Amino acid sequence: MRATPETTLTIIGLLRDLERRVHTQFSAILAREDLTLPQFFVLKAVATDDGLGLVELSRKLELTPSTTSGIVERLRRAGWLERLTSDRDRRAVAIRLTDKARGFLARDHHVESFQRLMAAKLDEDEARRIVASLKALHSCLERMEDPQ
């Protein structure tokens, strides 16, 4: 039996609410380091590809270059990132993590804190059922993207 429109609308509402709750709780953990969630995502993106240019970073994060530039500049002023200009092209900028950022990301305590909070409230069987359901939803959405 196919899902009803009401059921799919409930799924969409629950996903939106889950995203908001995860954002709120993870943001509270990051706030201890004076970081926002968008700043954290920039740090993680640069960590996977240190030396990225601003345009590449913007594409990777699916943000406008002006938005990304503002986040990068705030992180630079706070000592998390550095912007290096190329000797060959002064307009080209490479964005790199500082030792402060590398140390923070290596400790991974922010993710562990969030995981501990979730693990304390969720039993393993329930977690496995949620994962299976989310995988099924993910697969459904992928099929919707397939033009055939």
The tens-digit pLDDT sequence of the chain (148 residues) is 888 989 889 999 999 999 999 889 889 888 988 999 999 999 999 999 888 899 999 999 999 999 999 999 999 999 999 998 866 666 778 999 999 999 998 887 767 777 777 888 888 899 899 999 999 988 988 888 876 6
Report, at the CATH architecture level, how domain 34-107 is classified.
Orthogonal Bundle (1.10)
Query: Where is 96: in which H helix or E strand?
Result: strand 93-97
CA–CA dist 12, 124 (Å, integer): 24
- Helices vs strands, H then E, count in the chain: 7, 2
CB 129 within 8 A of CB 137: no
Q: Supply the pTM of this predicted model.
A: 0.75
CB 76 within 8 A of CB 68: no
Strand partners, 81: 97
Nearest residue to 84 (alpha-carbon basis) of 96, 66, 70: 96
Domain boundaries, the chain: 34-107
Q: How buried is residue 144: exposed, middle or buried, by Cβ count under 10 Å (0-12/13-18/19+)?
A: exposed
